C-alpha cells in the first residue's frame, strides 16, 4: 500500500458537470476510496437526491435517515449525520435521501440560501479533532441551488469529461457559471482538475476527445485517464468502491493513480 502526501489544509472539491451520466458519482466514490486507501481522511457529501454515492459507499440512506437534507434545510449539525463507509476505515459520508428532492424549492425562500452547506461544513471541519484531508461533493446534474451550495462550499472544481460524442457540449456554459460563482459568491473557487473518464482506447473518437480536452485545458487535465470498465460499473451494486471490489482491476488502478496525481499536485494557489 502506498501513502501519499497529505494536504496542509482540507481540500474541498465539488465534482460537477451539468450533464448526467458522465461519471460524476463514480468519480466521487472511487477517488474518495482511493485517497482513503492511501492514508487520507476523506468525507463525501452526497448532494444528489438520487443518493447514488450513498448507495455506492454502502451507507444507510432510506427516506427519513438523518442526511444532508437536515443539514441544509433544518440546521442539523453535520457531525450528527456523518456515517462511516464500510468501504474504508477513513472514509466518511454525509448521505442524501429522497427528501433532498424538495430542498431545491425549500431553499428558495431561506436566508443565505447559497451558503448553507458551506457554513455547516466549515463548522464541522473546525470542530472535528482528527481533521479531514479531502472533502468531495457529489452534485446533481443541474445548476440549481444545491449545486450552487456545492460551489460555494468548495475551493476546487473537478470536472469529469466522458470521452464520447458531445463531450464538450455544455462545458462553456458550466465554466461561465463557475466564473459567475467565483465573481459573486466564492472568490476562492477554481477549476483545478479535469478527469477524462469512460475512455475506450479502441475508438479514434475517444483519442480525439482526449486530445481536444488536453489542448483546451493543458494545466487541469490529469495524465491519468479512467478506462471504460465493467468492474467500475459493477461495484456500486455491491455497495463498494471498485478499489474494494477488485483492487487489481484496471479501473481500480486508474482511480488510485488519479488520486496520487491529485495528492502530488497539491492545492492550486
Chain residues in the site for Mg ion (CB under 5 A):
24-25, 52
C-beta of 38 vs 193, nearer to Mg ion: 193
C-beta of 117 vs 263, nearer to Mg ion: 117
Q: How far is the CB of 176 from Mg ion (least distance, A)?
A: 22
Please give the grid coordinates belonging to residue 114. Answer: 447559497
Cα Rg of the chain, angstroms: 17
C-beta of 25 vs 83, nearer to Mg ion: 25
Contact criterion met (CB below 8 Å) for 259 and 34: yes
Among Mg ion, ligand ADP, none, what does residue 197 contact (CB within 5–8 Å per kind)? ligand ADP
C-beta of 108 vs 230, nearer to ligand ADP: 230
Contact criterion met (CB below 8 Å) for 151 and 137: no
Hey, CA dihedral for 207, 212, 215, 216, is it positive or negative?
A: negative
198 binds ligand ADP (CB under 6 A): yes
Beta partners for 160?
195
Q: Site mask, ligand ADP, residues 124-163, x = CB under 6 A?
A: -----------------x----------------------
Among ligand ADP, Mg ion, none, what does residue 148 contact (CB within 5–8 Å per kind)? none
18 binds ligand ADP (CB under 6 A): no
Indicate which single residue of 2, 3, 5, 20 sits in contact with ligand ADP (rule: CB under 6 A). Answer: 20
Indicate which single residue of 187, 233, 265, 266 sits in contact with ligand ADP (rule: CB under 6 A). Answer: 233
Q: How far is the CB of 177 from ligand ADP (least distance, A)?
A: 16
Note the residue count of the chain. Answer: 269
- Provide the angle, in degrees to the nearest 10, between the axes of the packed helices 250-265 and 24-37: 70
C-beta of 25 vs 38, nearer to Mg ion: 25
Assign 3-state DSSP to the chain and report helix, strand, coil percentages, each to 5: 45, 15, 40
Indicate which single residue of 26, 65, 67, 193 sits in contact with ligand ADP (rule: CB under 6 A). Answer: 26
Neighbours of 205 (CB within 10 A): 13
Cβ-based burial of 145 (10 A; exposed 0-12, middle 13-18, buried ≥19): buried
Among Mg ion, ligand ADP, none, what does residue 233 contact (CB within 5–8 Å per kind)? ligand ADP
C-beta of 44 vs 132, nearer to Mg ion: 44
Angle at 26 between CA 137 and CA 79, to 5 degrees: 35
Among the candidate windows 17-25, 87-95, 169-177, 204-212, which touches ligand ADP by CB under 6 A?
A: 17-25
| Contacting residues for 226 by C-beta, under 8 A, at least 6 apart | 23, 27, 195, 196, 197, 198, 199, 232, 251, 254, 255, 258
Binding-site ranges for ligand ADP (CB under 6 A): 20-26, 52, 141, 197-198, 226, 228-229, 232-233, 251
Amino acid at each position: 500500500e502506498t501513502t501519499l502526501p497529505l494536504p496542509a489544509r482540507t481540500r474541498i472539491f465539488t465534482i460537477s458537470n451539468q450533464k448526467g451520466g458522465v461519471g460524476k458519482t463514480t468519480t466521487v466514490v472511487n477517488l474518495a476510496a482511493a485517497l482513503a486507501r492511501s492514508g487520507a481522511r476523506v468525507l463525501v457529501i452526497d448532494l444528489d437526491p438520487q443518493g447514488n454515492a450513498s448507495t455506492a459507499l454502502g451507507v444507510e440512506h432510506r427516506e427519513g435517515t438523518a442526511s444532508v437534507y437536515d443539514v441544509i434545510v433544518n440546521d442539523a449539525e453535520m457531525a450528527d449525520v456523518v456515517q462511516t463507509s464500510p468501504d474504508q476505515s477513513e472514509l466518511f459520508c454525509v448521505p442524501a435521501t429522497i427528501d433532498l428532492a424538495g430542498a431545491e424549492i425549500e431553499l428558495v425562500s431561506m436566508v443565505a440560501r447559497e451558503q448553507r452547506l458551506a457554513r455547516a461544513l466549515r463548522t464541522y471541519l473546525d470542530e472535528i479533532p482528527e481533521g479531514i484531508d479531502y472533502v468531495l461533493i457529489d452534485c446533481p446534474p443541474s445548476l440549481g441551488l444545491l449545486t450552487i451550495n456545492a460551489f460555494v462550499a468548495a475551493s476546487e472544481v473537478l470536472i469529469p469529461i466522458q470521452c464520447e460524442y458531445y463531450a464538450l457540449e455544455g462545458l462553456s456554459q458550466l465554466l461561465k457559471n463557475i466564473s459567475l460563482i467565483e465573481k459573486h459568491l466564492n472568490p476562492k473557487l477554481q477549476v483545478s482538475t479535469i478527469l477524462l473518464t469512460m475512455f475506450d482506447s479502441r475508438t479514434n473518437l475517444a483519442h480525439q476527445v482526449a486530445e481536444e480536452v488536453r489542448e483546451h485545458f493543458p494545466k487541469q487535465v490529469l495524465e491519468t485517464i479512467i478506462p471504460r470498465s465493467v468492474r467500475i460499473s459493477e461495484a456500486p451494486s455491491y455497495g463498494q468502491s471498485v478499489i474494494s471490489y477488485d483492487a487489481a482491476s484496471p479501473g481500480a488502478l486508474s482511480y488510485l493513480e488519479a488520486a496520487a496525481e491529485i495528492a502530488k499536485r497539491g492545492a492550486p494557489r
